Structure 1
Amino acid sequence: MAEDYYDILGVSKDASKDEIKKAYRKKAKKYHPDRNPDDAEKAREKFKKISEAYEVLADDEKRQRYDRYGKQGVEQDFGSGGFQWSDFSHRDDVEDLFSDLFGGRSRGGGFEDLFSEFFGGRRASRRQKQQRRGSNLKMTLEVSLKDIREGKEKNFKLNRQTQCDECGGSGSKSGGTKTCPNCGGSGEVKQVQRRGIQQLITVSQCSECDGTGQIVENPCPKCNGSGVLNKREKISIEVPPGAQDGTRLRVRGKGDAGKRGAPPGDLYIILRVKPHDKFKRSRNNLIMETEVTMTEAALGTKIKVPTLEDKVEVKVPEGTQPGDQLRLSGKGLPRPNRRGYGDLIIKINVVIPEELNKEQKQLLEDFAGIEKEKNKSWFDKIRGK
């Protein structure tokens, strides 16, 4: 039986995103192989497991699928070989942690090298890395509370680099390349500086071939040999029902195109929930305020209140006090980690009139007199005992 992601991180099923992140960082620090030199292999496996768990639970959409269907619900996000470092989309959440551990650098010369080693991949050369994929893109997208309740599809336009349709991304009109004469095909250039009897060797990416080791023959006239074109493209995403402000979504393959036909990067979207003029959010509940007169509060009434879908009639019971709350079940937001919806909570404000006409004033004075007689009768009974 597969281990439960919540158990792996040591958090409850209703843990907040901050609690999940805190638990992951704590365990990542504990099980880092360099901190466990006597049992590095076991630590490496543990490190991979907690990273896989965090990849799923830190993402609202994946977490919702996992809670509903278990591991089968997130298998589509990983390849046939299971979770790999290329699937990990939360490097920003922990990069500072490893900078602290290694004084700003990992022992392999880079954060990605470190994870590639942990997750079973060979360390790639700089040239291989340059050819692997394009840059990731980040953006923010405003959504409404109604979008979150309904899980709506959102469409928008995005400027990104796409593969040239003329040369297929190769950058060459004929499809041919040749070895870069500047670096001899290595993708790197070395510089040697001598200081007395010492020499300092620095290695940097070749500027002629951008680290690929190859230069284009017969450059494509449409993309000028770059293999990519700037394009404004329509993107569609599904807003996860019940998503929180700050939820991060990953759209695979919608980052910039890779050079020379390499795979594209991914698009990361940060959701920002627009403030509503009537409702405030409290987890999956919505809170609003409405006013009734003091006679309506005393005698009871029926009022119509808005929801995210329509208006509904609500009964205000007699004797309602200022600050009392009414609750409409299921009129809030979807619960991402379990089925059902939150509630709409209606706070009652009782309005006291600032001015009274003669008739109203007389009625209130009569009412006050009745209350006074009622209280006097009660005290008489107490004294008579």
Structure 2
Amino acid sequence: MKNPYEILGVKQSASDQEIKAAFKKLAKKHHPDLHPDDKAAEARFKEVSGAHEFLKDKERRRRFDAGEIDASGAEKQQQRYYRDYAGPSASGHAGQDGFASNEDLEEFFARAFGGGGMGAGSRRAAMKARGQDVTYSLRVPFRLAARGGVQKLQLPDGKTLNVTIPEGAEDRQTLRLKGQGGPGFNGGPNGEAYIELHIEPDAHFVRKDDNVHLEVPVTLKEAVLGAKIEVPTLTGAVSLSIPKGSNTGSKLRLKDRGIKNAKTGERGHLYVTLKVVLPEGEEPELAEFLEGWTPRHVQNPRKEMLS
């Protein structure tokens, strides 16, 4: 991801309120509901949402500002490992361990583990150390986290790890990759890699516990007369019956179309909230009908607001 401050068009010194205001303005401008079938707008909306999610996390923002992590949330590695990163300024492992030479390192081993008839070199050969544990952040698309799958993680040294994302993975969930950390010393085991997942917001779906919520626009005719329409789910489009006389805010449930709970194995539901939209172009017949129409049930939809 690009610099989140640049994406939202704010300075690094911006307050939380300024960041939130910038996000609302851009999200409203690029929301997919206002730009149907516009992939560029959808991509921009995701980018803006991702930047806001990144910066509203105070700890993640602090670490980014301090240069500890990059814009993807990945650690900026400061340490250097043993064999793979040995530099020319020090001999062998000694320089990497803070010793001026291998002789100094062997002297340290001699003092630490005593004589016992073993030479310093032999003692060092017998010394094994487990590799260092490392922590990474990995951004995962919402639908991949919901369905499960594999996401690539680019490491600081250029290597790539294929991380298996469990079905129903949650934001801030941590995965352990055994033996994928720092290399062991002198034949010791590698350390572990801990991957903290950061689930990206989706343009349409919103997760609440194991349930998923989705707002679906319907035409005036579909709302008044009822209809069968196709709606997206996490596993593909399905047919949904819209009852006659539906209104904006009407909520329908698609059973077991939500997130699978890792502990119980049960699935949540998909809740579809309807949003009635008027035709984009002129409809003279509709206007003429409404001008001559007297509702049987007179209502004031703003009554509660004015009381």
Equivalent position of 1:289 in the other structure: 215
Kindly provide the CA deviation profile for residues 347-372 of structure 1, in whole angstroms up to 9, marking residues without a partner as x. Answer: 11122468864432332244416x27
In 2: Cα distance, 1:249 partner to 1:361 partner: 58
Write 1 or 2 for the structure with the bigger share of strand. 1
Three-state SS of the structure 2 residue aligned to 1:261 is: coil
Kindly provide the CA deviation profile for residues 91-139 of structure 1, in whole angstroms up to 9, marking residues without a partner as x. Answer: xxxxxxxxxxxxxxxxxxxxxxxxxxxxxxxxxx9879x8431111111
TM-score, normalising length: structure 2: 0.51
In 2: Cα distance, 1:143 partner to 1:346 partner: 24
Three-state SS of the structure 1 residue aligned to 2:215 is: strand
Q: Is the 8 A contact 1:288 1:345 kept in 2?
A: yes
Write 1 or 2 for the structure with the bigger share of helix. 1
In 2: Cα distance, 1:142 partner to 1:260 partner: 34
Q: Is the 8 A contact 2:226 2:242 kept in 1?
A: yes
Equivalent position of 1:269 in the other structure: 195
Equivalent position of 2:40 in the other structure: none
1:158 aligns with 2:155: yes
Equivalent position of 2:251 in the other structure: 325
1:313 aligns with 2:231: no
Equivalent position of 2:230 in the other structure: 304
* Residue type at the aligned position of 1:150: R
Kindly provide the CA deviation profile for residues 52-97 of structure 1, in whole angstroms up to 9, marking residues without a partner as x. Answer: xxxxxxxxxxxxxxxxxxxxxxxxxxxxxxxxxxxxxxxxxxxxxx
In 2: Cα distance, 1:355 partner to 1:239 partner: 45
In 1: Cα distance, 2:250 partner to 2:195 partner: 40
Larger Rg: 1
1:339 aligns with 2:265: yes
In 1: Cα distance, 2:176 partner to 2:203 partner: 30
Equivalent position of 2:141 in the other structure: 144
TM-score, normalising length: structure 1: 0.41
Three-state SS of the structure 1 residue aligned to 2:136 is: strand
In 2: Cα distance, 1:158 partner to 1:361 partner: 61
Q: Is the 8 A contact 2:147 2:234 kept in 1?
A: no
Kindly provide the CA deviation profile for residues 187-215 of structure 1, in whole angstroms up to 9, marking residues without a partner as x. Answer: xxxxxxxxxxxxxxxxxxxxxxxxxxxxx
Three-state SS of the structure 2 residue aligned to 1:364 is: helix
In 1: Cα distance, 2:249 partner to 2:236 partner: 24
In 2: Cα distance, 1:354 partner to 1:158 partner: 48
State the Cα distance separating 1:249 from its structure 2 match.
0.7
- RMSD of aligned C-alpha atoms? 3.0
The runs of 5 or more residues in structure 1 that have no matched partner are: 1-124, 161-231, 376-385
* Residue type at the aligned position of 1:135: Q
State the Cα distance separating 1:303 from its structure 2 match.
1.3
Q: Is the 8 A contact 2:129 2:186 kept in 1?
A: no
Aligned residues: 177
Percent of counterpart pairs with the same letter?
31
State the Cα distance separating 1:238 from its structure 2 match.
2.3
Tell which has more relative contact order, 1 or 2 (C-alpha 8 A, sep 6+).
Answer: 1
Kindly provide the CA deviation profile for residues 121-174 of structure 1, in whole angstroms up to 9, marking residues without a partner as x. Answer: xxxx9879x8431111111122223322332133445356xxxxxxxxxxxxxx
Three-state SS of the structure 2 residue aligned to 1:368 is: coil
The runs of 5 or more residues in structure 2 that have no matched partner are: 1-110, 114-123, 300-307
Q: Is the 8 A contact 1:148 1:333 kept in 2?
A: no
Stretches (4+) displaced over 6 A: 125-128
